[in-house]
Amino acid sequence: MPIVLIVAEQQPDGNLRKASLNAISAGKQLADKAGAELHLVLLGKEPAKVADELKGSGAKVVHLGAAPELEHYLAETYAPAIAALAQELKADYVGMASTAQGKDLMPRVAARLKAAMATDITAINGAGADLTFTRPMWAGNVFAEVKLTTPVKVFTVRATEFAAAAGGQGAAEVKTFAPKVEASKTKFVDFKEVKSARPELTEARVVVSGGRGTKGDFKEIEALADDLGAAVGASRAVCDAGWVPNDLQVGQTGKVVAPALYIAAGISGAIQHLAGMKSSKTIVAINKDAEAPIFQVADYGIVADLFKVLPELRQELAKLK
Amino acid sequence: MKILVTAKRVEDPESKIKVKPDGTGIVQEGLKYKINPFDEIGVEEGLRLIAKHDPKGEVVVVSIGGKEVQEQLRHALAMGAHRAVWVNHTGPLDQLAIAGLLQKVTEKEKPDLVILGKQSIDDDQNQVGQYLAEFLGWGQATFASKVESLESEAEKNKVPAVTLTADGKAVRVVREVDNGLATVECQLPAVVTTDLRLNQPRYASLPGIMKAKSKPIEELTPAKLGVDVTPTIQVLKLSSPPARKAGIKVPDVATLVDKLHNEAKVV
């Protein structure tokens, strides 16, 4: 039986990175269409810590590879371990969420496996030998349907396009294996976490984003975000101007988000920004310019100054409570 | 010190990309072309590293494509790169093939460092640097970024994103990753890929443009390099993203909140 192997990711704090669950659900869909079995792999110093969270995800087997050398993630140490496991299992497909780690690691795994790779897949089409992936190109202006023709096929998954797989207890068998460890020419030095009391941008239910219209004043954006328990986002122009840190950037060159509610304040709606938030369930646009392209994707638009609208919005929302 | 930098020819990021009605490609009419912005950042970083560590060193720029890519090579030469390598090839290339060609060019040039853009803004694959590092058996530091998320100016200035270690045998790179910044040290030779905020590329000066005209461009081909470039990714069809239908404009905030509460049910 063909095998789909999905790489799950542990965050530096030891928890499972949530986008892994979306990649697992893409893996499940792919396994169903390819008539394959779904396997997961988790590497690290103590991967067993999060193994329980993966048992109920629909996978047949969860492979745990523990080694002290794998404590800090490096593409150079993780790639040989994953490629060797994929070869041992004779995996046909190897995939991972399109996180910073997924993007860094999977091409190196693909190189080891002499495999072609599709980045950021948004859909899986067809079945069996005719299976294809859909993926964005030109900053999301174009979607391409591609077929990988190498024996092993590698991909990363755009997490917002696939529902998260269920976590928790389940029927998956947990197997440990001794990961292949190779000497690395790269050394981990440190990781500086950017701490925020607000939810992670890609995982938040509500995102409030500011653009050039804020003129760099994010106080009202932040206040509304805090009222709503939301994450704060920003357009590229705002990040490039140095008004807010780049971690907040939503768009093709930043983060891709798909919250239940996306509020865009003072954002004109450049195509590269739209590529990062168009999949949001409900979009609200606040902009002084009635012709701003953001209104073409917004469910609800208000043509007005954000500095007037945002305080009012906070008052009106407070009345609901 | 020698640094090899890539310069892919891509559509101007400001151009409007439209898919042909039959889905076989994009509409070429009226398009302008540029050096991939991430590669341009790579050229700048290469020039800065040479200026700082070895003014007698060399930045070699490489591009793959038809003769039109010489435009992008000349642009990099005008910025200050010393010479160029042109791999002459027309027709589709996937990332396996591109990395294979770059591997051969790297083995020929023997640079201390290869710098590539983290992705090209046409394919958006974000793969070639990583493939190349693995093919060469070198260390990789992807998404090199300026440390803008650090709290203070002093902190930012303390840690430039790409630096050579004191003994000159390794490169220390600050990488932009999820929820923070990771710093790694790669033994040279190594592969580095650039993120957007690594630096602000310089403009080519007029003397630079004049000088670039006489700088050498060496021509190679996939056959000369001995690389099979048969594509392993078939692009079956291109399409425009599904249009999201425009909603309504509401007259005031009270109506907006009413809609969000009662219609969309998101607050």
- The number of helices, as runs of H, and strands, as runs of E, in chain B is 8, 14
pLDDT for the residue B93: 96
- Name the one residue in this structure whose structure tokens are 């591009």: B63
Q: H/E element holding A148?
A: strand A142-148
pLDDT for the residue B159: 58
Q: Tokens for B114? A: 């290869």
- If you ran DSSP here, which 8-state letter would residue A69 be given? G
Q: Where are the beta strands (DSSP E) in A109-166?
A: 116-121, 123-125, 132-137, 142-148, 153-157
Choose among A12, A117, A303: nearest Cβ to B127: A117
Mutate to test the interface with A, among B18, B38, B116, B130 (most CBs of A within 10 A): B130
From chain A, pick out residues whose CB is under 8 angstroms from the CB of B260.
Answer: 261, 282, 284, 300
Task: Measure A171 CA to nearest chain B CA, in Å.
Answer: 31
On whether any CB of chain B is under 8 Å from the CB of A42, the answer is: no
Domain limits, chain A: 3-177, 206-320
B248: helix, strand or coil = strand
- Same fold yes or no, A3-177 and A206-320: yes
On whether any CB of chain B is under 8 Å from the CB of A318, the answer is: no
Mutate to test the interface with B, among A192, A252, A306, A308 (most CBs of B within 10 A): A192
A34: helix, strand or coil = helix
On whether any CB of chain B is under 8 Å from the CB of A169, the answer is: no
Beta bridge partners of A37: A3
pLDDT for the residue A7: 98
Q: Return the closest-CA partner of residue B33 out of B78, B65, B81.
A: B65
Q: Strand B170-177 vs strand B58-65: parallel, antiparallel, or unpaired? A: unpaired
pLDDT for the residue B158: 52
> Do A205 and A261 meet the contact criterion of CB atoms below 8 Å apart?
yes
- pLDDT of residue B13 exceeding 80: yes
The domains found in chain B, sorted by start residue, are 2-239 (3.40.50.620)
Angle at B17 (CA atoms; ends B15, B23), nearest 5 degrees = 160
Task: Measure B213 CA to nearest chain A CA, in Å.
Answer: 31
Q: Tokens for B73? A: 């090579």
Mutate to test the interface with A, among B256, B259, B262, B263 (most CBs of A within 10 A): B256
From chain B, pick out residues whose CB is under 8 angstroms from the CB of A157.
Answer: none
Chain A residue at shortest CA distance from B188: A185
B140 and A75: CB-CB below 8 Å? yes
For residue range B201-211, what is the model confidence (pLDDT) as tens digits? 999 999 999 99
CATH architecture of A206-320: 3-Layer(aba) Sandwich (3.40)
For residue range B103-143, what is the model confidence (pLDDT) as tens digits? 999 999 999 999 999 999 999 999 999 999 999 999 999 99
Q: Distance of CA A86 to CAs A6, A41, A89, A113, Å?
A: 10, 10, 5, 9
Length of chain A: 321
pLDDT for the residue B151: 45
- pLDDT of residue B148 exceeding 60: no
pLDDT for the residue A271: 83
On whether any CB of chain A is under 8 Å from the CB of B31, the answer is: no
Chain B residue at shortest CA distance from A101: B177
Specify the amino acid at residue B70.
Q
Q: Strand A132-137 vs strand B217-220: parallel, antiparallel, or unpaired? A: unpaired
Q: Return the closest-CA partner of residue A154 out of A103, A106, A98.
A: A106
- The number of helices, as runs of H, and strands, as runs of E, in chain A is 8, 16
Chain B residue at shortest CA distance from A193: B180
Q: Which residues 34-93 in chain B show a CB within 8 A of chain A?
A: none
A191 and B235: CB-CB below 8 Å? no
For residue range B150-201, what is the model confidence (pLDDT) as tens digits? 444 545 545 568 888 888 899 999 998 888 889 999 999 999 999 887 888 9
Residues of chain A with pLDDT under 50: none
- Percentage of chain A lying above the pLDDT 90 cut: 80
- pLDDT of residue B40 exceeding 50: yes
B176 and A144: CB-CB below 8 Å? no
Distance between CA B178 and CA A40 in Å, rounded? Answer: 21
Mutate to test the interface with A, among B138, B165, B179 (most CBs of A within 10 A): B179
Q: Tokens for B85? A: 């390598």
Answer whether the bond into residue B55 is a cis peptide, omega within 30°: no
Q: Return the closest-CA partner of residue B4 out of B144, B158, B114.
A: B114
Choose among B94, B182, B187: nearest Cβ to A185: B187
For residue range A133-188, what is the model confidence (pLDDT) as tens digits? 999 999 888 999 999 999 999 999 999 899 999 877 788 999 999 999 999 999 99
Chain B residue at shortest CA distance from A311: B253
pLDDT for the residue B246: 79
Over range B28-44, report the average pLDDT: 95
Chain B residue at shortest CA distance from A303: B249
Over range B17-41, report the average pLDDT: 95
Distance between CA A115 and CA B134 in Å, rounded? Answer: 12
Choose among A112, A117, A301: nearest Cβ to B95: A117
Provide CATH code, domain A3-177.
3.40.50.620
Q: Which residues 259-298 in chain A show a CB within 8 A of chain B?
A: 260-261, 272, 275, 278, 281-284, 290, 295-298
Overall pTM > 0.90: yes
From chain B, pick out residues whose CB is under 8 angstroms from the CB of A261.
Answer: 260, 264, 266-267
Distance between CA A295 and CA B248 in Å, rounded? Answer: 8
> In chain B, which ranges are continuous DSSP H helix?
37-53, 70-79, 95-109, 128-136, 153-158, 206-212, 222-225, 253-258
